[in-house]
């Protein structure tokens, strides 16, 4: 497991291939099942696509909006804009962790980290590396060959340093001591002793919705779930870890040789058909890969809401009522009925956030809204 700092130079290398436009696909819909309708984003009309189009014209890369701000790379330099197209942080930084968390964004220039607030005001600078993103009021940093944490004033939060440490998640952080991995709380107290051989590769930050997957049986690499006291919450172990999302986790049950969804008591609530694999729930829905061929969408009762034609080669979880789909050439978006509402003609790597999503088309970077309106409409 490696701690990653995202370099703008690397981000610029994201694929810029374009795809052909596809017509809306027909989908099978189970009208008898319970469909969870995603909530409308809280700020879907607080943006100005035309103004954004002007400020990002010629940009190599644009990132998704978080907390009303988005990082943009132009001429190899990174800056930050708001949803009205105003430049909040000028385009003069070499690289960045690229998104605001808890009202703070860290930009990098040479060996110095610059921490800004929402208005672009410089809060403090630091020579420390690390993830540089704030979670639960603290940011994990790299200092003199060790890891520790700073608070929102830039001061060291704890005297202790660790061989390795991850960002806080759900009020806990995974750290490595002399005898393995354990968890600290936001006061720096070791609340779950150093006792685990290795952290979860898929979910290195550990806790989600009050539980964390850890290796209980190192010889067979079997995972179990613990609570914030370190207590194993149910005895059954699994060969693959999965975080809890909306109260359910998708795991492989070795006894029946099927993927299942369990609740936080370990009870199986959904059993998938043989050969099917699942994904995390989001907005009350999850996608099932049917024997490695096509995809179907289910609700939390395990009922099929709709199926997708096998022309779709990949699908991502729902975000703001839209799910990213790939037709083997380019990406588009479906709604919660399975209807293709934004055609597959873009390059895209993430879901909607705050009413928009960053995409590339014909080698140009831009944004789409949930109806398919885009910044490309203003810079033809």
pLDDT for position 111: 86
3-class state of residue 199 by DSSP: coil
Residue 332 contacts by C-beta under 8 Å, 6 or more apart in sequence? 22, 324, 325, 340, 342, 343, 344, 345, 346
Positive/negative CA dihedral, 342, 343, 347, 349: positive
The whole-angstrom separation of Cα 204 and Cα 226 is 14
Kindly report the pTM of this predicted structure.
0.84
- C-alpha of 123 from chain center: 26
pLDDT for position 200: 61
Mean pLDDT by 10 residues, the chain (380 residues): 37 33 38 41 72 96 96 94 97 82 92 94 94 94 95 96 94 92 96 83 76 91 94 95 94 97 98 96 97 94 97 96 97 98 96 97 96 90
- C-alpha of 230 from chain center: 26
Q: Long-range contacts of range 180-184, CB-CB < 8 Å, 24 or more positions apart?
A: 181/214, 183/207, 183/212, 183/228, 183/230
Which residue in the block uniquely carries the two structure tokens 């980290």?
A: 113
What does the block give as tokens for 149? 């944490």
| Strand partners of residue 79 | 72
The whole-angstrom separation of Cα 239 and Cα 261 is 14
Strands (E), 218-351: 222-226, 249-253, 258-262, 268-271, 286-290, 294-298, 304-307, 314-319, 322-326, 331-334, 340-346
């Amino acid at each position: 497991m490696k701690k990653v700092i995202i370099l703008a130079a690397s981000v610029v290398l994201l694929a810029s291939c374009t795809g052909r436009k596809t017509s809306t696909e027909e989908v099978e819909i189970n009208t008898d099942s319970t469909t969870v309708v995603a909530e409308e984003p809280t700020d879907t009309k607080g943006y100005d696509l035309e103004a954004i189009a002007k400020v990002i014209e010629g940009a190599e890369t644009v990132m998704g909006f978080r907390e009303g701000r988005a990082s943009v790379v132009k001429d190899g330099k990174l800056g930050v804009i708001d949803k009205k197209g105003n430049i909040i942080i000028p385009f003069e930084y070499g690289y960045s962790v690229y998104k605001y968390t808890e009202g703070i964004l860290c930009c990098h220039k040479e060996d110095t980290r610059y921490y800004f607030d929402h208005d672009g005001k410089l809060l403090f600078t630091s020579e420390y590396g690390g993830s540089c993103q704030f979670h639960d009021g603290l940011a994990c940093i790299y200092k003199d060959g060790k890891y520790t944490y700073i608070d929102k004033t830039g001061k060291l939060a704890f005297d202790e340093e660790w061989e390795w440490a991850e960002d806080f998640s759900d009020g806990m952080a995974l750290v490595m001591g002399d005898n393995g991995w354990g968890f600290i709380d936001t006061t720096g107290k070791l609340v779950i002793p150093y006792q685990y051989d290795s952290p979860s590769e898929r979910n290195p930050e550990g806790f989600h919705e009050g539980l964390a997957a850890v290796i209980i049986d190192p010889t067979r690499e079997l995972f179990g779930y613990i609570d914030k006291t370190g207590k194993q919450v149910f005895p059954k172990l699994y060969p693959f870890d999965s975080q809890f999302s909306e109260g359910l986790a998708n795991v492989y049950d070795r006894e029946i040789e099927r993927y299942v969804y369990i609740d936080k008591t370990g009870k199986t609530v959904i059993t998938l058909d043989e050969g099917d694999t699942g994904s995390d729930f989001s907005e009350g829905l999850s996608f099932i890969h049917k024997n490695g061929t096509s995809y179907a969408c289910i609700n939390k009762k395990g009922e099929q809401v709709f199926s997708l034609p096998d022309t779709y080669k990949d699908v991502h979880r729902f975000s703001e009522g839209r799910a990213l789909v790939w037709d083997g050439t380019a990406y588009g978006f479906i709604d919660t009925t399975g209807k293709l509402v934004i055609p597959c003609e873009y390059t895209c790597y993430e879901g909607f956030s705050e009413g928009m999503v960053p995409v590339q088309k014909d080698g140009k970077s831009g944004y789409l809204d949930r109806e398919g309106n885009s910044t490309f409409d203003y810079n033809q």
